[in-house]
Structure 1
Amino acid sequence: MNRCQTLPLVTVLVTLTLAGCASNQNLRSTDETTWQPSGEAATAGDAAKADRLWQVFERYEGTPYRYGGTSASGFDCSGFIATAFDEALGRQLPRTTSQMLSAGDVVERDQLRAGDLVFFRIKGKDQHAGIYMGGDSFIHSSTSIGVTHSSLNGYYWRDRFSQARRFD
């Protein structure tokens, strides 16, 4: 084969390889009609809160998932949330997802602001949570990849969203 004949083959192989990576639950949806927040405009305080939470996220990004974990050696979803709120905002939140669901103020999906907690129904019950960061992004500790950010519109999360809570 000459160089011109191998280029299409290489292109096909690269495309197939990238498509194989598309099973990641953090991919953004390409659907133009997906949900976008239309709630309250971000204030300077919301922007500062989001910035501090992003700094904590960057410090722990990639930390592995560990059930019951609350430290850099491993976090579960609520352990990461509690740590992020403590370190970024100096706020103490309830420790478990079920306790978080019982506290805070209910927020409609179209009224989300950075720093709100988002909850997801998995296997019939609310058992996963993250921190909404604006747009359609949230940060959380995923059982499959640890501390990460994901899209509310991502194929895994969009149909599992159940509710949100605000802790002002």
Structure 2
Amino acid sequence: MSALKNAFPSVMTCAGLTAALTLTLAGTAPEAEAATRAAQAFAVAVTKQGAPYEWGGTGPNGFDCSGLTQYSYKQVGKHLPRTAAQQYNRTSRIGGRAPQRGDLVFFLAGRRVYHVGMYAGDGRILHAPKPGTRVRLEKIWTGSVRYGRVR
């Protein structure tokens, strides 16, 4: 405790230390909230594994790729636009930071976004791949992806 008193001389009580740490960590709160929301949306999407791919499907029983992400985030109180490209334009790029479960994974052909899924960890996504398939976990098959976080 004396080391803390030396580091924070104006903080002499546990309440004061808590207040100082809260102020220090306040900048990370939106990031933590977005990550928690992403994990909650992913948990919703997991319950849809096995649902059939349906072109234009927005659930609850059939989905296309962006319909699954839109539906999952809607269940946790976040609105996403309808298409993968629109969702790409509405998210914050993660860049060099590691994606977290529930972040969106956008697939690109050149500069065109053609597919979206939800990051599942370990280089995998949960998505509605294409007609004739079902919502499933799958390894990311290309390096032409960008990661986005829903705010």
TM over 0.5: yes
Segments of 4+ moved more than 4 angstroms: none
Q: Does the CA contact (< 8 Å) of 1:85 and 1:91 recur in 2?
A: yes
After TM superposition, the structure 1 = structure 2 runs for residues 71-110 of structure 1, keeping only pairs within 5 Å, are: 71-87=59-75, 89-108=76-95, 110=97
Query: What is the aligned-residue RMSD (CA, Å)?
Result: 2.7
Give the TM-score taking structure 2 as reference length.
0.66
Higher relative contact order at CA 8 Å, sep ≥6: structure 1 or structure 2?
Answer: 1
Q: Post-superposition shift, 1:54?
A: 4.3
**Structure 1 residue 114: deviation in Å?**
2.1
Q: Matches of 2:82 and 2:111 in 1, distance apart?
A: 21
Contact 2:34 2:149 in 1 (8 A): no
Question: 1:108 & 1:55 partners in 2: Cα distance?
Answer: 24
Q: Pick closer, same or farther for the CA change 1:123–1:68 going to 2, 3 Å.
A: farther
- The correspondence for 1:162, drawn from 131, 145, 148, is 145
Q: How far has the Cα of 1:100 moved from its partner?
A: 0.8
Q: How many residue pairs were aligned? A: 120
Unaligned runs of 5+ in 1: 1-42
- Measure, in 2, the Cα distance between the counterparts of 1:45 and 1:97: 19
Q: Cα offset for 1:137?
A: 2.2
Q: Which amino acid aligns with 1:86?
A: K
2:123 counterpart of 1:136 = yes
Q: Which protein is bigger by CA-based radius of gyration? A: 2
> Structure 1 CA distance, aligned partners of 2:37 and 2:90?
23
Question: After superposition, where does 1:1-168 map in structure 2 within 5 Å?
Answer: 46=35, 49-50=38-39, 52-87=40-75, 89-108=76-95, 110-122=97-109, 125-143=112-130, 144-152=132-140, 157-159=141-143, 161-168=144-151
Q: Is the 8 A contact 1:122 1:128 kept in 2?
A: no
Deviations 1:121-141 (A, max 9, x none): 259832100111223222111
Under a length normalisation based on structure 1, what TM-score does the superposition of the two structures give? 0.60
